[in-house]
Structure formats: structure tokens, C-alpha cells
Amino acid sequence: MVLAKVIAAYLVGSISGSLVLGKLRHVDIRQSGSGNAGGTNALRSQGVAFALAVVVIDIGKGALAAGLIAPAWGHGPVSMLTLQGACGLAAIVGHMYPVYFGFRGGKGVATFAGVMLVLAPLAVAGAIAILLLTVVVTGYVGLGSILAAVSSVALVWLIKPATELVVFCALAAAVIVYAHRVNITRLRDGTEHRFERVRVVNWFK
């Protein structure tokens, strides 16, 4: 039963919001902008409304994995929080490597947020604040995503210090950092794309 739920969560996570909605528009956003199938590239290449719809779907599947799939029919030999974390991680991996789309997906940030909205909503608020602050100061969405994911470990430890939840956040953060390895290389080389429209330094020009 536990394995079946984890597999189900992965399959739900593989439903990529940007790629499903892109099919309705007859576009594949992996062929535009950064080539990533996540919300940021959806915004850059398809506009605000499309990106918002993508983010809602991607957050929703994380919440579905932790809030509905994991609790269904009990939790078997493991704790409920452990099962929710396992299903949440499976959904994140599904988002990054979707079986329906050639294993080329997004970077898992929105799906991680959906899982955390179920498990530790106050930690999500703190992580989002870190993400937004980083983006408006630096213009680097990738850096903001990395810092938000990594900071979630400390935020959870402070707000809801359950060992299972801290372990889940640590694993999810590691996966998300790995997904941003190209961004990290570009940041090091000074070639990372900036989201100039939201940088606070541009507000005073």
C-alpha cells in the first residue's frame, strides 16, 4: 500500500501544468526561453495568466500528494508524516522527471510549496518571503528558489520540529538544488538571467 501511494504520487506529480496547458496552446515551453517547464519560464514565454495557471496546477499536485493520496486508506507500517513526506517527494520528482513528457520537466519548487502548505504552512510563508526578497534585490529567481528551499529546513526545525518533516525538507531541498545546478553554474560565471522588471534597484530609475 505504501509503495502504491508513492507511485500514485509520482504519477500525479508527472502531470506538468505548463506542458498540459501548453498542449492546449500548441506550444512546448521547453522550446522557449530557458527551456524549463516551470512557472518562471512559463511567465517569460507565455505571460502572466498562463504562468499563474501553471503554478496553481503545480502547487495543487503537491498538496494532493501529501493531503489526499498519502492519508487515503491509512498509513500502513510507517507514520503518517513519513508517508506524506515520501509521497510529497515522489510528486516533486515526478514534476522534475515526468513520465508522460519524456522525463523533462520543471525544478519542483511550486510542487514542494504545495506539499509544505499541507505539512507546515507557516514555514511556506517564511520561505516565500525569502524567495521574494531575494528576487526583488538580485533579480535571480533561481537563487531565490534555492535559498527558499534550503531555508525551509531551518524554518521547519524552528516552527514544527518533527524529525520526519525535517528529513523530508532536507531531501526536497537537495533535489531542488540539484535541479538548479545549471543556474548555479551561471551564477558563478556571471551569466545567469535576471528578472529585471521586479528588481528594487529598477524602481528608482
State residue 35's pLDDT score: 64
Cβ neighbours of 138 (radius 10 Å):
19
List, for residues 108-120, the tens digit of each pLDDT value.
Answer: 999 999 999 999 9
φ/ψ (deg, to 5) at 140: -100, 105
Look up the pTM and report it.
Answer: 0.89
pLDDT-based confidence at residue 51 (cuts at 50, 70, 90) = confident
Domains in the chain: boundaries: 2-204
Does pLDDT of 205 surpass 60?
Answer: no
